[in-house]
Amino acid sequence: MAKTARSPTAEDSPPAAAERHRSGSAAGSGLRSLASAASGWWDRWAVMGSGLSKLERAFGDQFPEGERYFGLENFGNTCYCNSVLQALYYCTPFREQLLEYYAKNRNLEDAEENLLTCLADLFSQISASKKKTGVIAPKRFIQMVKKLNEYFRGYMHQGTLTNETRCLMCETVTAKDETFFDLSVDIEQNSSLTSCLKSFFSTETLNADDKFFCDKCCSLQEAEKRMKIKKVPQILVIPLKRFKFIEQLNRHKKLSYRVVYPLELKLSSNSDDADCEYSLFAVVVHLGSGPNQGHYVAKIKSHDHWLSFDDDNVEMIPESTLQTFYGSSREYAGNTDHGYILFYERVGGNCNGKPDSPEGGV
């Protein structure tokens, strides 16, 4: 039986239908906004109500016992300092020695305040805090940094580098020991940290205008020069030379080269203590396209978890995130977030059967 056709009404007209659609969309949008706001309010209430921070909730019942995770307040242009401070704090051997130093010297009336004492005080504030997470202002330390106290660098010196030069005429080897805090290495496009270190320790020939004055020959001679690690450090700090002065431009330029750095690093023929193994625990990352602009953050491993420290913000990140900071395989690329300073900790008590020296820094 055929259906009776209805006569069109105003309700069925296109303008009316469109109006109903708009009203329905507006209502739906309003409900979604309300639901989103309620969800956000509920999340904030849940955190406040439970007394737990977002990071504490991320850790859950796996929050490391006795550990503290504090962001650092930025005083305008202190993101680089904050990032390095965080890396140093989670360098466990250094932190323990510094807190021990603080415990022994904090009550001395004639103790002079310096960069080291300010850092020790900051570390003590964090480690002794009743809260597990939060934000702290490293104001005293930042103020003292401007005075460039050399006592701090003296305390941070580690292993020993040996500068060896061999005269090609008489074969005499001249060796000079130098203490170091870090190994700043040149980088190449699409390379690895291992290859960069190999270049750092490679033999260099001194000739022409660069001839070496040999004390035995009493004259300038051609020679071979190389660097060796005489005493391996507990903590190996490796800045990648991403900021290079370009003479043609008369300014520094950031090198966005892709440099792959491993989670586990071996120092083999580079040192007297062969086959020393190191584990990556911190990366200071530069965000930005140039040396005079941008931002610094730190990616740090603590108790088998990787965390991101961005001034006062601290959050958990997956380990795979580290790969995004290797650099760019092309000179002009959208990614400007690059690993800048790498922190490795030696694993195991001995290297090649040689016991650790009780002297020196960390």
Sorted by sequence, the CB contacts under 8 Å of residue 276 that are 6+ apart come out as 232, 266, 267, 346, 351, 352
Looking at residue 181, the DSSP 8-state letter turns out to be S
| Given the residues 21, 79, 167, 217, the one annotated as active site | 79
163 closest CA partner among 216, 206, 217: 206
Enter the tokens of residue 21: 């659609």
| Given the residues 81, 157, 252, 295, the one annotated as active site | 295
Report CA Rg, the chain: 29
Between CA 128 and CA 139 the distance in angstroms is: 18
Give strand ranges (E) for the chain: 69-72, 133-136, 160-167, 173-179, 191-192, 204-206, 212-214, 219-221, 223-231, 235-239, 243-246, 251-254, 259-260, 264-267, 276-287, 295-302, 305-310, 313-317, 337-346
217 in active site: no
79 in active site: yes
Q: Which residues are catalytic?
A: 79, 295
